[in-house]
Structure 1
Amino acid sequence: MPSNQERVYLSVGSNIHPRVQNIQRALRLLRAVAAITVVATSHWYETEPWGNRDQANFYNVSVALTTTLTPDELLAELHVIEQALHRRRLIHWGPRTIDLDIIFWGARQIHTPLLTVPHAQAAHRNFVLLPTQEIAADDPLVGPQVDRLVAKNQDQSWIKKVRNVSELDD
């Protein structure tokens, strides 16, 4: 895989009605960006909220992609998608129509005022690690990182794999 084609992993989640449609729409908008190729999507997972637990459960999915965008350009595209889905940042770790986070970018370490990769909290979140582990197993740059983090993870929150997205209640 050429260095400009390292896989980037996103965590996508929603806990505001209609959760399923919010995620499906975010995935469509992501696939519509010419500079992005979605290579894999994990199963969907229902998860309890992390941090602020007094809110509805989330649906979460991980996405692997390649892109010709820079990290800042990709982050800007993700913010455009969040805005299109009416994401509002009112409460830290609060309810959201959609949340798109860059979790891993190959073996890169990125530390800018707007972006930290690997994601600063990924190592402590089942809803990020387990779906990402599912789609990163064959990635020699990210798979081992995720496996190490899963082995050390202390997150006790529950996570349930969804077998059939079309049967999800919203």
Structure 2
Amino acid sequence: MRLIGNVCVSVKLEQKIGYIKNNPTNNNSPSWINNTALPFAVAAASVVVAPIALSAVGFGAGGIVAGSWAAKGMSAIAVSNGVGASAGSFFAACQSAGAVGIASNTLTWIGALSGSVTAAVQKAINNNKGNGTNGDTEEDEESEEMMRRKEVTNHLIKCKHVKY
């Protein structure tokens, strides 16, 4: 404890006062890494996962793998329209990509689309954090600040006129 004027102040209290002064609770400036890391990670992962996912569901280099989800989908399409998948359909594109691989420009679009969607969702979530729908509100932050200040004041009152 140290005597400052007629008030004793503990080192711990000094640290708390310094923390309050140096760490305001209304810091709304996230770094660029917080806003871009997740979309970049999702874009990169989707480019890697897309060919693996095609193989996993049954679109193989030799065609559709028997007993796979792709085979079941092909069967359902044949039953529904009386023929197989029509040329140019999404199913035909997946079958082609599974057989010869996904073209690099298609992988680029997959990465760009998944990264953009992730960034938009992340921005929407971050925008909702301050308006009470998700996360702490400004009132909560203000009440936390007031609690810290009251604690400091109460400690100062208790220590008044105490010598070390």
TM bucket (normalised to shorter chain) is under 0.3
* Greater relative contact order, per chain length (Cα 8 Å cut-off, separation 6+): 2
Larger radius of gyration: 2
User: What TM-score do you get using the length of structure 1 for normalisation?
Assistant: 0.21
Richer in helix (by share): 2
